[in-house]
Amino acid sequence: MTTESKSDAGLSENAGEELITSRRGFVTGAITLAAATGAAEAAQAQAAQNLKFQNPPGLAPPRGYSHVAEAMAPGRTVYIAGQTAVDANGKVPADFPAQATQVYENLKIALAAANARFDQIVKLNTYLTDIPSQIAVLREIRAKYLNGAAPPASTTVQVVALADPHYMIEVEAVVILPPAG
């Protein structure tokens, strides 16, 4: 059992399902509105994405991620390499909260390059250098960027070091997008 799973065991089993239900309702409403305003192609592209996020009964309720992310239709898969806290000027913040924020800002830029959004991420892999002191801050910052979307499947591991001794966090992502067209 991961550190994240141990600390999440006390959460309501319905919390993850409520997030998923809320996201489904939003997406369904957005598709209906888009179709009603004559943007049928945009609605079809969103529907073609057809992502399903689940937290099956029998697994510990997760906090801030989904156990299963399923892409049920053809589309584009985008793999985003591990993002570290290096900004556009080559600088790395000294503290963990600033590094985690910079990592998610870098992910936002990478997503935009593929015309993607945070709610289209289906898998996150996070590497931390000190899970016990960093996980709570990471969850808080990650939640701001995921912004209420069904959380993607996620793995968080502690590593001895990252590529540069100043790095405290690295995050890679997999995104599923509708077919290009």
HEC letters along 108-146:
HHHHHHCCCCHHHEEEEEEEECCHHHHHHHHHHHHHHHH
Cα–Cα nearest to 100, from 75, 135, 72: 135
28, 34, 40, 46 alpha-carbon torsion, rounded to 10°: -50
| Domains identified in the chain, total number | 1
Residue recorded with tokens 């009603």: 36
Enclosing domain of residue 162: 3-177
Q: Which amino acid is at 138?
A: L
Tokens read off for 39: 């943007």
pTM: 0.66
Q: Which tens digit of pLDDT belongs to each residue from 127-168? A: 999 999 999 999 999 999 998 878 899 999 999 999 999 999
Packed helices 13-36 and 40-49: angle between N→C axes, nearest 10 degrees: 150
- What CATH number is attached to the domain comprising 132? 3.30.1330.40
Cα–Cα nearest to 156, from 69, 62, 58: 62
**Per-residue model confidence as pLDDT tens for the chain (181 residues):** 444 444 444 444 455 555 555 555 554 444 444 444 444 444 334 433 577 888 878 777 877 777 777 777 778 888 899 999 999 999 999 999 999 999 999 999 999 999 899 999 999 999 999 999 999 999 999 999 998 878 899 999 999 999 999 999 999 999 988 887 6
Tokens read off for 44: 């079809």
Beta-strand pair 68-71/51-54:
antiparallel
Long-range contacts of 157-166 (CB under 8 A, 24+ apart): 157/2, 157/125, 157/126, 157/127, 157/128, 158/3, 158/127, 158/128, 158/129, 158/130, 158/131, 159/127, 159/128, 159/129, 160/129, 161/129, 162/84, 162/127, 162/129, 163/84, 164/84, 164/92, 166/92, 166/94
